[in-house]
Amino acid sequence: MTARRLLRAVTGLAMGAGALLTAPFAFAAAPQPGSGYGLPVDVSAEGHRIDWLIGVTNVLTGILFVLMLGWILYAAIGHNEKRHVAAHDHGDSRKSIFLVLGIAGSIFFVVDGNLFFNSTTDLEEVFHNFDKVEKDPATIRVEINAHQWAWDTRSAGPDGKFNTKDDIVSLNDIKIPVDTPVIFEVASTDVLHAFNLPNFRAKVDAVPGQINRFWTQGKTVGEYEIGCAQHCGTNHYKMKGVITVLSKEDYARWAKEASENSARLFDENDKDAHWGWDWKGN
């Protein structure tokens, strides 16, 4: 092996290894709590489905990357001017066309097909299966009204109706019980925002004039971040909140106290406080 060929091989390997090693850090400027440089820790009952899809896709594209790198190295080292004269064709032979279509088609079928099949199944059976969640008498309902630059939150209180005097109203602060389904209805009063719960693998656009919904269920008691995932103006970065997963007993205690306080402070003439809407689901 001549020095030049050795240099070429080493450079190729180093570039490939460098790309592999730096890729995960390019997307994570700071470590996320609880999980180093990976995804934020998942505290939801169904978030594992999304993590599985991301993990499998990473593994499959990782395998493809290594195969392609090997192929390029083989071409660079195995075929060179000293071994034989380079052969060129236009890639329009039957064999070439079938080979290219076959490889591209298989990659598309396996990688994208897996994403498509599993994500549509997950949506149908779990994430968009509101019928099942709404039938559960334990289900909690929360309304979110986004505005520049905060999240108004409202839970129904003991009467189960929104926009009444026992509603629990807060700002950038949501409390939910553990192991209990929660349906969120999300709207916006001004511009597009996106209500994002990274630790629940849940995110939905907040759109003026429209109510979007999703449901989730916390499985680990603790405090987690709420963020806005849609650039919505100068102070977009300040649109942070906290969602707290409480034990069922703590939640019951808090909800009772909070709705009593709300009823006490209720002012019929304060129109700004009455931003809630009739619950759109069942």
Q: Does 232 bind Cu ion (CB under 5 A)?
A: yes
Residue 177 · residue 141 · CB < 8 Å: no
Tokens of 150: 């905060």
Residue 192 · residue 228 · CB < 8 Å: no
- Compute the distance between CA of residue 100 and CA of residue 130 in angstroms, rounded to an integer: 43
Exactly one of 239, 243, 246, 255 binds Cu ion (CB under 5 A); that residue is: 239
- Nearer to Cu ion by Cβ, of 144 and 258: the residue is 144
- Compute the distance between CA of residue 93 and CA of residue 241 in angstroms, rounded to an integer: 60
- Nearer to Cu ion by Cβ, of 164 and 172: the residue is 172
* Rounded least distance, CB 10 to Cu ion, Å: 48
* Rounded least distance, CB 226 to Cu ion, Å: 11
- Nearer to Cu ion by Cβ, of 175 and 193: the residue is 193
- Compute the distance between CA of residue 282 and CA of residue 6 in angstroms, rounded to an integer: 70
Tokens of 92: 């329009």
| Region near Cu ion per CB under 5 A, out of 13-21, 87-95, 220-228, 251-259 | 220-228
- Nearer to Cu ion by Cβ, of 238 and 248: the residue is 238
- Compute the distance between CA of residue 214 and CA of residue 200 in angstroms, rounded to an integer: 11
Q: Does 141 bind Cu ion (CB under 5 A)?
A: no
* Rounded least distance, CB 35 to Cu ion, Å: 25
* Pairing mode, strands 202-206 and 212-217: unpaired
* Rounded least distance, CB 239 to Cu ion, Å: 4
Exactly one of 226, 228, 243, 255 binds Cu ion (CB under 5 A); that residue is: 228
Q: Does 144 bind Cu ion (CB under 5 A)?
A: no
| Region near Cu ion per CB under 5 A, out of 97-105, 112-120, 223-231, 258-266 | 223-231
- Nearer to Cu ion by Cβ, of 182 and 194: the residue is 194
- Nearer to Cu ion by Cβ, of 140 and 144: the residue is 144
- Nearer to Cu ion by Cβ, of 234 and 269: the residue is 234
x-or-dash string of contact with Cu ion, 177-196, rule CB under 5 A: ----------------x---
149 upstream amide cis, omega within 30 of 0 = yes
Binding site for Cu ion (CB under 5 A): 193, 228, 232, 239
